Structure 1
Amino acid sequence: MVKGSDILLIVVAIIFPPAAAAMITGCSCDLLINILLTILGYLPGHVHAFWLIYKRIKAEEAYGIHGYTYLGNGNFVGTGGAPPPPQQYYGSTQ
């Protein structure tokens, strides 16, 4: 489910992708990667920022709103260090 903060991140990512990356990752290697991708071409910076937003939304679905910590490289872990709960496939196979 997309919340207001996710919509704000998407709008910021459209205007200036490194700002959205900074909001998600803080001052990390992913921010530097996003800045370099944005300098190389505006579209690669967008793709990277939207990928980070997607990974953050998936972490919120798996761990809850404040139940995760960012590890870097688009990886999140639960605050207790626990893996995400198993995903339900509703009749389909993996």
Structure 2
Amino acid sequence: MKLVRFLLGLLLPPLGVFLTVGVGPTFIINVLLTLLGWLPGSIHAVWVIAKHEEQLSRDGSVY
């Protein structure tokens, strides 16, 4: 699932962020960045997904 989220973060940034954190401020920021251009949205999405994975591994959670 991790790989799928990263690929979606690159190809369809808002979908990757939505699948990672759901609807919230992070998702709205990503939609706005994606409207400004695909590259800013993709960079933000990959960053959000990576930080989420880092937080899960730090907490010892397994998903």
Same fold (TM over 0.5): yes
- The one-letter code sitting in structure 1 at the alignment partner of 2:22 is G
Structure possessing the higher radius of gyration over alpha carbons: 1
TM-score normalized by the length of structure 2: 0.88
- Pair 1:49 & 2:45 matched: yes
The match for 1:35 among 31, 43, 51 is 31
Bigger proportion of residues as strand: 1
Structure 2 gaps, min length 5: none
Percent of aligned positions that are identical: 31
Structure 1 gaps, min length 5: 67-94
- Pair 1:10 & 2:9 matched: no
Number of residue pairs matched by the alignment: 62
Instruction: Give the structure, 1 or 2, with the largest relative contact order (CA under 8 Å, sep 6 or more).
Output: 2
Shift of 1:45: 0.2
User: C-alpha separation between the residues in 1 aligned to 2:28 and 2:36?
Assistant: 12
User: C-alpha separation between the residues in 1 aligned to 2:40 and 2:26?
Assistant: 13
Give 3-state SS (helix, strand or coil) of 1:9's partner: helix
